[in-house]
Structure 1
Amino acid sequence: MDRTLLYYPTIDIPTDNWLCSALLYTDTVSSIVPYERINDTRFTDTLKFLIDEKQYKPVFIKQLLSQYTEEFQEFERFFIDTTNSIEFERRMVRPSYISDQRYYELYNQKLTYNIQQHLKDKGFITKQTNGAIVTDEIVGTFYMGILAQYVAKTTKDALVIPSTDKKTYEDIAFQSTGQKIPAMNFILSNCLPVPVPGTSLKEIIKFKKAHRNDLIEFRKLLTVTQDKLKKSESQQDALQYQIELKEHIEKELNTLNALYHRNKIKTFLSSFESLLKLETPKLFQSLSLIGAVTTPIKPIAGLIVGSIGVSASVLSVYQEKKDEINKSECSYLFKAQNKGLIVNE
């Protein structure tokens, strides 16, 4: 089954760290669009290129939101109940030093009738344009985050993982309700080789296709690592798993770095986090008390510049009803580059 990283909250995908990372470390990328056809002229040139290369699969949301299933009703209820909650009202209150003039445009095709009516009743719609509404940035980002989770939950022919490039987006999407369940952040810090900005997408995709098996092996290693870590019952277990897997990860990273160098692709060491539901609450309690558990990694022989680690987090209860949650990541968060860590010249 293919793995797809679904970018949110916008249609267009940032053509920097997130896209370079996602193209290499997953099968395809995606985003939610208000269009109805793959040949719609409103797709950007970048997305058109990725469609032609079979690297991008748009989610035509209008068709998905027309299926009035039990899961659809659950999605509507969750959004409406959450935005009616005291917890969400608190999140909407910004400090006085932050401007409250931050707006977000939502296409009508991405909204259900009930949700649009709810936004109107709550006074969340500040402006209506031809085919879209304008709402508060937090409301819009939360809606797109929940919509991405709904797409992930209802997609049957692929493993879809919501993903973004900003921690604030992930926090809004996964932590905006008072009812939460224990979760864990799997953190790979300054260890993910990614082509430097300016590397052409054509070159990246060519590399991906030529070295698909190597990239898949690295991805499998990350998956195995996460599966073991989320079953840990204590920080000692988590540390032991990290130490056991440290050498394997270093070996795979050195292999990838050598491949990039051989193909004359300059890279930097980026980072990512994966949000997982914990299978044992004991580890969550330990992590909450002691903080992150980390192990140094040498992504380049002779240098200690990165780490693998876990830290405590939480998830909205909407995700708890997804059967696949115990098998896969809930969210991917690719971090911005560290410009001081160029590894291939």
Structure 2
Amino acid sequence: MKSNALYYPYINVPDAKWLYKVLLYWDKVMSIVPMEYYYHPDMYTPFMLQLVRNELVVPVTPAGKISSREFDKFFHYAKRTVRKKGSKFFEGKRFTAQVHMEKLGDLGERLVEIGVAKSDNYPWYEMPRGLANHFMSFIALNLSRDEDIMADPVTYNGYPIQRLRQNFMKTQVRNELLDFLLPVPDEHISIDDVLFFKMQHGDLLTQFRIFVEREVDKICSISDIECEYEEIIDQSKSIFAIKSAEIEDALRSRWKKIAFQYVIPLFSVGVTCSLDNPSPFIAAAGTIAPMFASNCKEVSKEPMAYSVFAKRTF
């Protein structure tokens, strides 16, 4: 199971609602960044720079990580595409997108030669938007398999995922479950809030992710999932809701039980004790504190507790 996410298609991760769910679910979020950004971090957007400095987003460079054989596959795909669409590729500026030369390697000039890329704006190549979308999906998929990266590709809602179609169902199911387990409010969440939450509850994250991924795999293994998709997802959400309620109730009831059995009598002890001799009160308090901590710790070790704490916090 992968622990990190690889964001694409752009260099700068956007300040969007879906991002905070991604930051809470994965250990790290990586972004495909040309080497020049390492030496000139002022090229990042202010928000991206904040993410990088707080190590919530880790830049990874694509240079040398994709084999020439893989680039050849994309080149042949581009040739087939241009035979179908011809000169219509560059009709209208709004249909073009820019891709950094470091992501393309020597593939850039080969694409220029067959008429599906332009290199008028160094260090960027201009490509038809459809082809650029396909290329960024292609590079994300290949980089995600690199032994130094090993991350699940993630992107914003609605971005074309042509090359990632085999992962589409798994991604869709995961997103559906996480929308329920880690709902993000409409109000803006600060980076500091995310950092503080992961500092407090990060020890639960791995087990929580294992728990979710197992459910995702179980759902995706169902043969007729597309016919009964909504019903299957709703069943999983119902199970999650029951488990969350059990944890919430356990956290509340344990405190109430301890309060009524020990804390209230404790105040009686405190009242009846001589002010000059408060030792019985202190001794009782010293017994109850570890008891409460032990009971709460037992419940809070449940994988679903991560979701419960996130809903409480955000």
TM-score by length of 2: 0.66
Quick check: 1:105 aligned with 2:92?
no
In the aligned structure 2, how far is the partner of 1:226 from the partner of 1:108?
A: 36
Q: 1:85 to 1:214 in 2, by over 3 A?
A: same
Q: 1:181 to 1:174 in 2, by over 3 A?
A: closer
Residue 31 of structure 1 corresponds to which residue in structure 2?
31
2:135 alignment partner, SS class: helix
Residue 73 of structure 2 corresponds to which residue in structure 1?
78
Q: Which protein is richer in helix relative to its size? A: 2
Aligned pairs for 1:182-221 (under 5 A) are 185-186=172-173, 188=176, 190-191=179-180, 192-221=182-211
In the aligned structure 1, how far is the partner of 2:222 from the partner of 2:209?
A: 21
Task: Give, in angstroms, the shift of residue 262 of structure 1.
Answer: 4.3
Task: Give, in angstroms, the shift of residue 9 of structure 1.
Answer: 0.8
Residue 3 of structure 1 corresponds to which residue in structure 2?
3
Residue 135 of structure 2 corresponds to which residue in structure 1?
143
Alpha-carbon deviations, 1:9-57, whole Å to 9, x = none? 1000011123211110101111111125745322333333323322221
Opposite residue 57 of structure 1, the aligned amino acid is V
Residue 60 of structure 1 corresponds to which residue in structure 2?
61
Q: 1:61 to 1:119 in 2, by over 3 A?
A: same
In the aligned structure 2, how far is the partner of 1:225 from the partner of 1:91?
A: 45
Residue 250 of structure 1 corresponds to which residue in structure 2?
241
Task: Give, in angstroms, the shift of residue 137 of structure 1.
Answer: 1.3
Residue 112 of structure 2 corresponds to which residue in structure 1?
120
Give the percent of matched residue pairs that are identical in Structure 1 and Structure 2. Answer: 19
Task: Give, in angstroms, the shift of residue 164 of structure 1.
Answer: 0.7
Quick check: 1:160 aligned with 2:148?
no
8 Å CA contact 2:112, 2:119 repeated in 1: no
1:128 alignment partner, SS class: strand
Alpha-carbon deviations, 1:304-341, whole Å to 9, x = none? xxxxxxxxxxxxxxxxxxxxxxxxxxxxxxxxxxxxxx
8 Å CA contact 2:8, 2:155 repeated in 1: yes
Quick check: 1:129 aligned with 2:130?
no
Quick check: 1:12 aligned with 2:28?
no
Alignment size in residue pairs: 248
Bigger shift: 74-83 or 46-55?
46-55
Aligned pairs for 1:257-276 (under 5 A) are 258-260=308-310, 262-263=312-313, 265=314
Q: 1:252 to 1:118 in 2, by over 3 A?
A: farther
Q: Which runs of 5+ in 2 are unaligned?
A: 246-304
8 Å CA contact 2:14, 2:48 repeated in 1: no
Quick check: 1:222 aligned with 2:212?
yes
Opposite residue 108 of structure 1, the aligned amino acid is M
Larger Rg: 2
In the aligned structure 2, how far is the partner of 1:34 from the partner of 1:3?
A: 23
8 Å CA contact 1:2, 1:158 repeated in 2: no
Residue 279 of structure 2 corresponds to which residue in structure 1?
none
TM-score by length of 1: 0.60
In the aligned structure 2, how far is the partner of 1:258 from the partner of 1:226?
A: 19
1:47 alignment partner, SS class: helix
Q: 1:217 to 1:51 in 2, by over 3 A?
A: same
Alpha-carbon deviations, 1:90-149, whole Å to 9, x = none? 69979xxx9663221111122121x21231122122451122221211121211111111
8 Å CA contact 1:36, 1:62 repeated in 2: no
Q: 1:91 to 1:201 in 2, by over 3 A?
A: farther
Opposite residue 77 of structure 1, the aligned amino acid is D
In the aligned structure 2, how far is the partner of 1:217 from the partner of 1:245?
A: 18
Opposite residue 259 of structure 1, the aligned amino acid is F
Relative contact order (C-alpha < 8 Å, sep 6+): which is higher? 1
Q: Which protein is richer in strand relative to its size? A: 1
8 Å CA contact 1:228, 1:241 repeated in 2: no
2:94 alignment partner, SS class: coil
Alpha-carbon deviations, 1:160-209, whole Å to 9, x = none? 11111132422x3435xxxx899664261652412434211111221122
Residue 338 of structure 1 corresponds to which residue in structure 2?
none
Q: 1:262 to 1:88 in 2, by over 3 A?
A: farther
Task: Give, in angstroms, the shift of residue 81 of structure 1.
Answer: 1.9
Task: Give, in angstroms, the shift of residue 245 of structure 1.
Answer: 4.1
Q: 1:182 to 1:64 in 2, by over 3 A?
A: closer
Task: Give, in angstroms, the shift of residue 61 of structure 1.
Answer: 1.7
2:57 alignment partner, SS class: coil
Q: 1:260 to 1:240 in 2, by over 3 A?
A: closer
In the aligned structure 1, how far is the partner of 2:167 from the partner of 2:48?
A: 36
Q: Which runs of 5+ in 1 are unaligned?
A: 66-71, 266-345
8 Å CA contact 2:32, 2:61 repeated in 1: yes
In the aligned structure 2, how far is the partner of 1:167 from the partner of 1:106?
A: 19
Query: C-alpha root-mean-square deviation of aligned residues, in Å?
Result: 3.6
